[in-house]
Structure 1
């Protein structure tokens, strides 16, 4: 808008929110929420609503801050105020008025429509086998992508932004405020072009003048070995594209690893238990077990004890940083038969007489891996 003296008039913040000048903080907050629900770009994508939303948000930013509101009220400007500095302009605004340009933002430049996009977060669930060697995944991400119609220009093809008639391309307008030095003119963002210095008379119909649209795209990910639940991986430049075709934000991958029915993880090692019959525990044997990367032989020496840990080198997890795989550690669970016929019982009794087994007694509690596996032994 233009005033009678040719100066731009900034809308009064109280009028923008539709509240009285003595409105309480709660009344201001309620008014803002009501207008934000009505004007938010996700609900009302029109350009006029978008501009109103920015105006409403700026008014709320000022009036919801007690200090800014007080300074705004003290300004008592005939133009209705609304700059971030409020009523009494700071010395920065005064110096900018005397020594800066009559227009232009800080540094004399209007805002750029191109802004960096937001970061995105995707959660990925893996199996323990994927963690051992790493895995390739193609992720479907619902995010903002560059508008193919306008290629980020925000304008209908064949058109372009035009210089704002109010601020003449500076992105700023002058506003009279009361200061310690008297009434001075200071610069605030133009509320017509929102500080861009240009307006878009013919916004792109596909993206509603945003330069980007919501779409689903595929992101290829080579998940490294050794990741664990809670770890976040960063993919720079794979997030959403910014307004006006601005640079992409980053994509963060949050990892969750499903529990395995047999193996559990301890650092770079894998833990498991094996049930061994009494004869095999006494005499020893060689058996084949299935690891996460195929069958492997496991040797049980004669006289192996319950709780012994057998180590198979290099069959654990490849570390996140490094190449030396951890080990597969197998805890021994000796299975004691619970039902014996008469002949079997007689043989065991004869064996006990011949070996002169010691009386049962308490012994030192085994720590370390056995301690970690004891619950699994109990459930075996």
Structure 2
């Protein structure tokens, strides 16, 4: 079972963006693989912290996590959310979190994939809308969609180069992706490290570009994506599918695919949180004599008994016939509101019978036993 992201970083839900970053730095430094060589447990905690930071540092993902837990941001790489990040993904965060010279200062030199040399430019995120009916929301659904987006160029395999010989080590930075500059001050020598402007930190330059993608390493195309929608999603909820957005330039990491959930209106039912509401209209005679009726539910039809003397406005409850909660075993109910239908047109014979009933004491409104009159309730309010 996945641990709580706030627990992993040792912070509260009210932590600010700076506090989240500071907490991540502390945990990442503690469990960094270079400081714990061969320690699989430390590596797992290092990845776990990176996953937590990826979600909590993004305001949209954090909001979804706070509302829906792990289901709101997903559980695995290639599925929803950021779980199962690889080392290249993690080290690509370090330039923003630790600064450009983190590896030179703490780990003895630039490391491929983080802080210095990196591959290409990360692709942008994409957003799609998925409309689900009540049954799909209640039970979960598998959707297959076609997404038009930038995909890796098959001709050059995303490198942007015509051939391997066209990729040359950058002469400015020597392939490190960084330029180090030492200046003398009255405090002594100061070293600064910046991203190489000649190769944009990639460490390589292309002398002969791919003719298919014009050196970008990607082309505009289409990809078929399978979506596994968890049960219990709600209108307006956003799910994030890592790595399924636009492909990055020249081998850069792909963006994410953001799925916005829309609920398809039901012809007879209405949703109120986890509960489902149905308005049942029955005749006057049905509530007098009692009856058995069939009502629609998310899962099909259900029969309920209407006892004799049922009043208009009575609510019957079908336990567990509502929607499941996305992050627990809780499930809502179905509420059935009884509405007594009043005929608008009656024959002279029917009118005569109703006139007789009108004068019968049994057909006069009677307060339920123990109910207080209107005046008694008003008197209590002002006493």
TM-score, normalised relative to structure 1: 0.59
Structure 2 residue runs of 5 or longer lacking an equivalent are 1-99, 375-383
Work out which of the residue numbers 232, 249, 252 in structure 2 matches 1:246. 252
Counterpart in the other structure of 1:30 = none
Taking a change above 3 Å as real, the CA distance of residues 316 and 139 of structure 1, as seen in their structure-2 partners, is same
Counterpart in the other structure of 1:153 = 159
CA distance in 2, matches of 1:318, 1:174: 56
Equivalent residue runs for 1:23-172 within 5 Å: 111-169=117-175, 171=177
Q: CA deviation at 1:224?
A: 1.8
Q: Secondary structure at the match of 1:244?
A: coil
CA distance in 1, matches of 2:165, 2:221: 25
CA distance in 1, matches of 2:197, 2:163: 26
CA distance in 2, matches of 1:348, 1:261: 34
Q: Secondary structure at the match of 2:360?
A: helix
CA distance in 2, matches of 1:275, 1:193: 72
Taking a change above 3 Å as real, the CA distance of residues 184 and 349 of structure 1, as seen in their structure-2 partners, is closer
CA distance in 2, matches of 1:189, 1:256: 43
Counterpart in the other structure of 2:231 = 225
Q: CA deviation at 1:183?
A: 12
Counterpart in the other structure of 1:267 = 273
Q: CA deviation at 1:124?
A: 1.5
Counterpart in the other structure of 1:316 = 322
CA distance in 2, matches of 1:186, 1:318: 55
Work out which of the residue numbers 297, 302, 326 in structure 1 matches 2:303. 297
Q: CA deviation at 1:300?
A: 1.1
Contact 1:149/1:157, CA 8 A, preserved across alignment: no
Q: CA deviation at 1:232?
A: 1.4
Q: CA deviation at 1:112?
A: 2.3
The Cα RMSD (Å) is 3.7
Q: CA deviation at 1:296?
A: 1.6
Q: Which moved more, 1:317-326 or 1:353-362?
A: 353-362
Counterpart in the other structure of 2:36 = none
Q: Which moved more, 1:312-321 or 1:181-190?
A: 181-190
Taking a change above 3 Å as real, the CA distance of residues 242 and 345 of structure 1, as seen in their structure-2 partners, is same
Q: CA deviation at 1:214?
A: 2.5
CA distance in 2, matches of 1:223, 1:202: 44
Taking a change above 3 Å as real, the CA distance of residues 168 and 323 of structure 1, as seen in their structure-2 partners, is closer
Residues 132-168 of structure 1: per-residue CA shift (max 9 Å, x gap): 2222211222223222111122211343411334554
Residues 217-245 of structure 1: per-residue CA shift (max 9 Å, x gap): 11111212211111112223333333332
Taking a change above 3 Å as real, the CA distance of residues 168 and 235 of structure 1, as seen in their structure-2 partners, is closer
Aligned residues: 265
Equivalent residue runs for 1:186-205 within 5 Å: 190-205=196-211
Taking a change above 3 Å as real, the CA distance of residues 179 and 268 of structure 1, as seen in their structure-2 partners, is same
Equivalent residue runs for 1:336-375 within 5 Å: 336-358=342-364
CA distance in 1, matches of 2:192, 2:293: 86
Q: Secondary structure at the match of 1:245?
A: coil
Taking a change above 3 Å as real, the CA distance of residues 355 and 163 of structure 1, as seen in their structure-2 partners, is same
Taking a change above 3 Å as real, the CA distance of residues 275 and 166 of structure 1, as seen in their structure-2 partners, is closer
Q: CA deviation at 1:182?
A: 12
Counterpart in the other structure of 2:6 = none
CA distance in 1, matches of 2:265, 2:278: 13
Structure 1 residue runs of 5 or longer lacking an equivalent are 1-91, 365-380
Taking a change above 3 Å as real, the CA distance of residues 171 and 311 of structure 1, as seen in their structure-2 partners, is closer
Taking a change above 3 Å as real, the CA distance of residues 187 and 293 of structure 1, as seen in their structure-2 partners, is closer
Q: Secondary structure at the match of 2:355?
A: helix
